[in-house]
Structure 1
């Protein structure tokens, strides 16, 4: 890749990052339904046309940020050697514990479902897409659905359980299913 292309990619990523940060800052005090693209671009220091070069809507900005986190989460889990179910669940909740602000914003704006959508769209990067589950879409969707609803309950409960406690909950469920 030539130098100009690298510079352009870096500029695009920086612009997207700035727009995401502006939206998330505004969502700390405002509902998504009350915000406009103009407010976000003003906060980010860009013109509306710059926004539309990178995103289609405010939901698209959230989806971009969630996808970025989803890919990182799957990479983190996949990097663990001898991955066991309990370890995967614990790492999963440690990862999302570090992103509680984002989860709270999504939840208060009725957009938590965007996370499940992202997981499904990026399933090929998931640990569930390896080994014996690689072609079993039912098992993959069952696993992701279970994790999503556990996370949803955890978010709605105010993140009171630690990742270690969530690991125990998941293990109890797994034993019950066996």
Structure 2
């Protein structure tokens, strides 16, 4: 058992070193310009350590961002009040504003967007569960809403939040409510 714990600790350390190294390299280079060799060299681990843990550099970013994004959405799911949910989502984006800008500039935003979308779709699926909707409505409305919510937050953050947070919350609430009402009528 001790060897297993030790092996797990080494694996976790390797993952942490690789993520740190990649994020450091992304400060000055686009993801497409970074190689596995550069990351492992900076991390001080072997190529084998990389390939034991990941297949691609994007996998490092997914492993790095997924726990934080999932945790934020778990917080949102546990808060029943809509205002609290919106506050939790906005706090997530504020916490990650600088990384989102970097992701946009350095070509790895898709990783964050995919993790966000998966969580938003799960959140909306839970919201729609008690409603009498067709399979197509259940499939496409969460896709539509998650893409829209992400795009609004992204634009707001990258443009240095010109509108108030209350304005963004109201806009999102209006879009969500009106599209859901249209969906229920249709």
Question: What TM-score results when the alignment is normalised by the length of structure 2?
Answer: 0.77
Structure 1 pair 13–101 and aligned structure 2 pair: CA distance change class (3 A): farther
Shift of 1:12: 2.3
Runs in 1 of length 4+ with deviation above 6 angstroms? none
Give the Cα–Cα distance (whole angstroms) in 1 for the partners of residues 65 and 101 of structure 2: 13
Q: What is the deviation of 1:27?
A: 0.8
- Alpha-carbon contact 2:31-2:108 (below 8 Å) kept: no
Aligned residue in 2 for 1:24: 23
CA spacing shift, 1:100–1:175, aligned 2, 3 Å: same
- Quick check: which has more Rg, 1 or 2? 2
Question: In 2, Cα distance between the equivalents of 1:88 and 1:109?
Answer: 30
Give the corresponding residue for 1:100.
97
Residue equivalent to 2:184: none
Structure 1, unpaired ranges of 5+ = none
Change (3 A) 1:97 1:123: closer
| Structure 2 unaligned blocks of 5 or more | 182-186
| TM-score using structure 1 length | 0.80
| 2:88 is the counterpart of 1:91 | yes
1:129 alignment counterpart: 125
User: CA separation in 2, counterparts of 1:70 and 1:141?
Assistant: 18
Query: What's the offset of the Cα at 1:7?
Result: 4.0
What do residues 48-78 of structure 1 show as CA deviations (whole Å, max 9, x unaligned)?
1111111111122122223223211211211
**Residue in 2 aligned with 1:36?**
35
1: CA distance between counterparts of 2:159 and 2:59? 27
Between the aligned partners of 2:53 and 2:18, the Cα distance in structure 1 is: 9
Matches within 5 A, 1:46-61: 46-61=45-60
Structure with the higher fraction of residues in helix conformation: 2
Partners of 1:55 and 1:61 within 8 A in 2: yes
Q: Measure the CA separation in 2 of the matches of 1:159 and 1:45.
A: 39
What value does the CA root-mean-square deviation take over the aligned residues?
A: 2.7
Q: How many residues align?
A: 174
Contact 1:67–1:118 (Cα < 8 Å) also in 2: yes
**Are the aligned partners of 1:63 and 1:114 in contact in 2 as well (CA < 8 Å)?**
yes
Distance 1:162 1:44 in 2: 40
Matched with 1:150 is: 152
Higher RCO, 1 vs 2 (CA within 8 Å, ≥6 residues apart): 1
Asked if the contact 1:41–1:51 (Cα under 8 Å) also holds between the matched residues in 2, the reply is: yes
Match in the other structure for 1:110: 107
